[in-house]
Amino acid sequence: MFDNLHRWLIIRLALVWFVLSLVIGGLVHYLGNARLDSHVVNMAKAETASYSDEFAAYLRSPSVQALARFNHEIRAIIEKDNLIVVEFYDADSRKITEAIKPSARDVEEKLPKHDAGFSRKDGIVCNKLTLGNDTYLRVFVPIHNSTGAKIGYLEGIYHAPGEIITQIRRQTFWSLVLVVLIIFVTSLALYPLIIGLNRKLLDYSRILALTNIGMLKVLGSAIAKRDSDTNIHNYRVTLYSVRIGEKLGLTPAAMQGLIKGAFLHDVGKIAISDSILLKPGKLTAGEFEIMKTHVSHGVDIIGNYAWLGDAVEVVRCHHERFDGSGYLKGEAGTSIPLNARIFAVADVFDALTSRRPYKEPFGFHEAVGIVRDARGSHFDPAVVDRFLVHAEAFYGEICCEDEAALHGKLEECIGRYFR
């Protein structure tokens, strides 16, 4: 169980690490690209500012001489910065002049063309382009006069410096690696913490289980004292039930319900008056009807306690018969819960082989014969068949043991099925 917990926890922490790495890593990658784009755009805008000032000055006093001087100035500027192409247009989108770096003509031909929509924009527009491993921005800068009217615009193609791109991408990559490592280390740190908390939870669960089992024993002892009996009957029928359940292959969860139900099967007798419960002679028909109500009283007593919820089926149905002639509901066949069908065999066999105030114990073979004869009427045939195969071993282990020995065997069963 604990190994399964380790495997379960490792798989889920690994899954959480993987998912968080994808999500947060994707976010870091996105923010890194956004930072890169923003940085490149700001650089492009900054480098086009000097052209804007020169172009605005020319548009205020256009002439042949001014254009020649403007061409000379922009060609000098373009050799010093990262713009590879700069084109200048008037308000009617007629090209006035341009400056192109000699090495950029092939690049300009390969870059996608733009439509005329950019010329109608009022603010600076940047359009990111890629060519191979290089990043370019097409920048449109409107030029306004002193009254705010657009008098022209420039279009520039900016080549983002490779070292800047590489530096920011490297920073983004290492940020991504750092995030993944932080999530991994956090997962490793959580592992022993969760294991430690689980150990504490298991300890608390064991304490709670022991408390509940202690309550079960106290209640069972109270029933035995109320019925002028000892715990030994509860011990025997519970052990018989456990052994039959084991041979039938019941699950641990079903075994827990069987043990609880077997130990508390007569809990409802607490509600029966002494005059009936302790009557030495045979009960009248009316008294027997009252005695039958111990079944419903038992269900009422334990039915509202969640930990005993799986014991209710034994308490409710332990007097039902396979042929439908039992009480209280007259249930028949497999509509009777399996745990109740198992307990019915154990209860009757123990009653037959035990000394009671009104009878001596039957011998083993006589008791087995009675159980066999009730196969299909009182008892489930499948349960009886499996019981009969092992009845002699069960009888030898349980019937003649004293209370202390039976208590020890029951403790072993509780330790096995309630851990």
* Domain residue ranges of the chain, discontinuous segments joined by +: 2-170, 227-417
Q: Give the CATH fold of the 2-170 domain.
A: Beta-Lactamase (3.30.450)
Q: How far, CA to CA in Å, does 354 sit from each of 96, 232, 367, 403?
A: 119, 10, 10, 13
Structure confidence at residue 382 (pLDDT): 96
Which of 47-61, 137-151, 228-242, 287-301 reaches the highest mean pLDDT? 287-301
Q: Which residue has the higher pLDDT, 366 or 43?
A: 366
Question: CB burial class (10 A; 0-12, 13-18, 19+) of residue 208?
Answer: exposed
CB 99 within 8 A of CB 84: no
At position 284, the amino acid (one-letter code) is T
Say which residue, 407 or 209, is predicted with more confidence: 407
| Torsion sign (Cα): 101, 103, 104, 106 | positive
Give me the pLDDT at residue 115, please: 60
- Residue 258, pLDDT > 50, answer yes
- The predicted structure's pLDDT at residue 256: 93
The string of pLDDT tens digits covering residues 164-221 is 777 777 888 888 888 888 888 888 888 788 877 778 877 777 777 777 777 777 877 7
Give residue-wise pLDDT tens across range 324-360.
999 989 999 999 999 999 999 999 999 999 887 667 8
Lowest mean pLDDT among 115-119, 188-192, 268-272, 287-291: 115-119
Q: How confident is the model at residue 1 (pLDDT cuts 50, 70, 90)?
A: very low
Q: CA-CA distances (angstroms) from residue 385 to 3, 91, 251? A: 38, 104, 20
Residue 247 pLDDT more than 90? yes
Does residue 41 register a pLDDT over 70? yes
pLDDT (tens digit, 9 = 90+) per residue, 374-398? 999 999 999 999 999 999 999 999 9
Query: What would the pLDDT profile of 59-93 be if each residue is shown by its tens digit?
Result: 888 888 888 888 888 888 888 888 888 888 888 88
Average pLDDT, rounded, for the chain: 84
Percent of the chain with pLDDT over 70: 93
pLDDT for 118 equals: 59
CA angle, 290 then 294 then 299, to 5°: 140
Least confident of 143-152, 315-324, 362-371, 402-411: 143-152
Residues 6+ apart with CB under 8 A from 18: none
Q: What CATH number is given for 227-417 in this structure?
A: 1.10.3210.10
Give the DSSP letter of residue 89. Answer: E
> Cα(40)–Cα(46) distance, rounded to whole angstroms?
10
Task: Report how far apart, in Å, the C-alpha atoms of 396 and of each of 129, 367, 400, 408 are.
Answer: 91, 14, 7, 16
Q: Report how far residue 368's alpha carbon sits from residue 351's, in angstroms, rounded to the nearest whole number.
A: 12
Query: SS3 for 391?
Result: helix
Give the per-residue pLDDT at 228.
Answer: 55
Which pLDDT band holds residue 365 (cuts at 50, 70, 90)? very high
In terms of average pLDDT, the best of 125-129, 131-135, 281-285 is 281-285
Angle made by CA atoms 147, 148, 149, in degrees to the nearest 5: 95
Read off the pLDDT band of 48 (50, 70, 90).
confident
Same fold, 2-170 and 227-417: no
Q: How confident is the model at residue 121 (pLDDT cuts 50, 70, 90)?
A: low
